[in-house]
Amino acid sequence: VKFETLKFTYNKTKTGYVDVKDLLVDNKLDLVLTIAEVTEGLPSYITPKTSPYTVTIEIKYDPVTGTLTATPDKENSTFVFTNEYKAVGDVTFEGTKTVEGRNWDAENDIYDFEIFEVVTENDTTKEVSVGTAKNNADGAIEYPTINYEYDLANNKNDLGTHVYKIYETSTSANGITVDPNPPREVTIVVSDNDDGTLNVEKSEGWNAVNFVNTYGAETTVNLSAKKDLVGHAFDEDFTFSFTLTG
């Protein structure tokens, strides 16, 4: 940043210069200036972080030599203005829950889901939970919004590829068998649009993270009978066969 040069004269009128003759006291003037960044008009994603600076310029006139000097009390390298850039973006998966084998029960057909991000740290890959979800009465799964930030000033950098696995965490019960298929997988690639927003590129299927449960009722019954032999003592070596027909 280069400011306009400050120009001074002593008892001399010149365009673009300030005559300081009448401002000097004992041939000296301390001119105090404030240097500040104009923040009006800055984009919302640019945040100024530097307070204004104060600089005193000592102006001296030497009547013996007829020279005029102007000396600031700070070096130009002192004046550093720092702004912070921040960009954000997000994604919300979409999906539905259905039950095959019977009618949908809006009150009781509520199931649980969890999203994990696949991350690698120190050559070890693991799955880290980033949120849970339930379906609503209509079967739509209300996945949580996943937020991304690019804010180096605060050590946040979500640029790059993110791989997610989505599981149904409900257990089979009451005739319902939870979806036996592997977890659904979605890949997100995040990049900076250079305007305070992040480009969130979604893989196919991000808006169809669906799960299908099946219903089937079953039960068992045990039948038993007693065998009697009339006219002879029952011998354990005797063998009899029976049939069950319907």
State the Cα–Cα distance between residues 161 and 159, nearest whole angstrom. 7
Predicted pLDDT at 230:
82
Predicted pLDDT at 243:
87
Predicted pLDDT at 222:
85
Strands 184-192 and 160-168: what pairing? antiparallel
State the Cα–Cα distance between residues 7 and 160, nearest whole angstrom. 52
Q: Which tops the pLDDT comparison, 242 or 147?
A: 147
SS3 of residue 154 by DSSP: helix
Q: Is the pLDDT of residue 211 over 90?
A: yes
Predicted pLDDT at 99:
97
Is the Cβ–Cβ distance between 168 and 113 less than 8 Å? yes
Query: How many Cβ atoms sit within 10 Å of the Cβ of residue 99?
Result: 19
Q: Is the pLDDT of residue 111 over 80?
A: yes
With cut-offs at 50, 70 and 90, classify the pLDDT of residue 199.
very high
Q: Rounded to the nearest 5°, which phi and psi values hold at 55?
A: -130, 135
Q: Is the pLDDT of residue 73 over 90?
A: yes
What's the one-letter identity of residue 51? S
pLDDT > 70 in the chain, percent: 99
Q: Is the pLDDT of residue 233 over 80?
A: no
133 closest CA partner among 143, 125, 123, 122 = 143
Mean pLDDT of the chain: 94
Q: Is the pLDDT of residue 218 over 80?
A: no
Q: Is the pLDDT of residue 186 over 80?
A: yes
Mean pLDDT of 87-103: 97
**Summary count for the chain: helices (H), strands (E):** 0, 18
What's the one-letter identity of residue 238? F
Cα-Cα-Cα-Cα torsion 201, 202, 203, 209, nearest 10 degrees, comes to 180
Is the Cβ–Cβ distance between 164 and 130 less than 8 Å? yes
Q: Is the pLDDT of residue 66 over 80?
A: yes
Predicted pLDDT at 108:
94
Is the Cβ–Cβ distance between 1 and 81 less than 8 Å? yes
Q: What is the pLDDT of residues 128-184, one digit of tens each?
A: 999 999 999 999 999 999 999 999 999 999 999 999 999 999 999 989 999 999 999
Is the Cβ–Cβ distance between 117 and 214 less than 8 Å? no
Q: Which tops the pLDDT comparison, 83 or 227?
A: 83
Q: Is the pLDDT of residue 237 over 90?
A: no
